[in-house]
Amino acid sequence: MDFNEEFSALHGQSILEQAEYLNDAIDYILKLYPQTRKNDGRFNPSLPDPQSVIIIGHSMGGVVARVMLTIDKYQPGSINTIITLSTPHISPPVPFDWMISKIYKDIHQFWIDGYSTAVNDRRRSLRDVSLISIAGGNLDSIVCSDSANIGAIVPATHGFTVFTTAIPNVWTGSDHPAILWCNQIVDVLAKSLIDIVDTRRGGQTKPLDARMQVFRRAYLSGLEQDRRTSDIPFGKF
């Protein structure tokens, strides 16, 4: 989704508007499938209609993706996998707008609560949602890669943070725009997405544990700590 280079990093209201628009877009996309599959004989009628999509967010797009699950227009279960590229998850890169700081505070708490076993509200539960944060490292001069760490937001069972320098068959840093088109990164990312697909399920992806196994094989070298994130405990900043 191209928002014509909107300055979402500087304007909190833009983040909220983008999140609302994207939720509407996902709703529209998912509603296209039943009629299309009905009229197109190439589709296997025994397979379920897709009920969710995979989100890839670059920079503040990754923050918008997390906001999407917190607003009223979000359809529970319509997103089960999010991969972010050079996204400042911990804090906004330029906190000039008070609304951005509030958005960050609100989504942090929402996501921490969403992984709690005590949450019974389906609209607030994130038990089936995986989040992978990929950072470019020292070459990224726009977003500090340390701020891409999701260790305090997402439990290790549901996601992790990795630098492109540590990804097998990539082994190199990436600047802010190049992380979108670097061939080595794109190849690994595309293969991992293909490997998590399961069209026999409404969510169109494998169960959470199987997804995480695919992502760990694709993005981690095996030399990381068991938590595969950082020393920051989940739920603490």
Show the tokens assigned to 103: 């958005």
- 3-class SS at 5? coil
As a whole number of angstroms, the distance between CA 64 and CA 58 comes to: 10
Question: Cβ distance 57 to 69 under 8 Å?
Answer: no
Question: How far is it, in rounded angstroms, from Cα 189 to Cα 26?
Answer: 21
Q: Are 160 and 220 in contact (CB under 8 A)?
A: yes
Rounded Cα–Cα distance for residues 33 and 192 (Å): 24
Cα–Cα separations (whole angstroms), residue 196 to 12, 125, 143: 33, 21, 28
Catalytic residue status for 192? no
The set of residues, in sequence order, having a beta carbon less than 8 Å from that of 193 and lying 6+ positions away, is 54, 83
Question: Do 50 and 204 form a contact (C-beta atoms < 8 A)?
Answer: yes
Please state the length of the chain.
Answer: 237
d(CA 195, CA 59): 24
Question: Token pair for residue 72?
Answer: 């009223």
Kindly name the residue from 8, 14, 59, 86 that is annotated as catalytic: 59
Residues labelled catalytic: 59
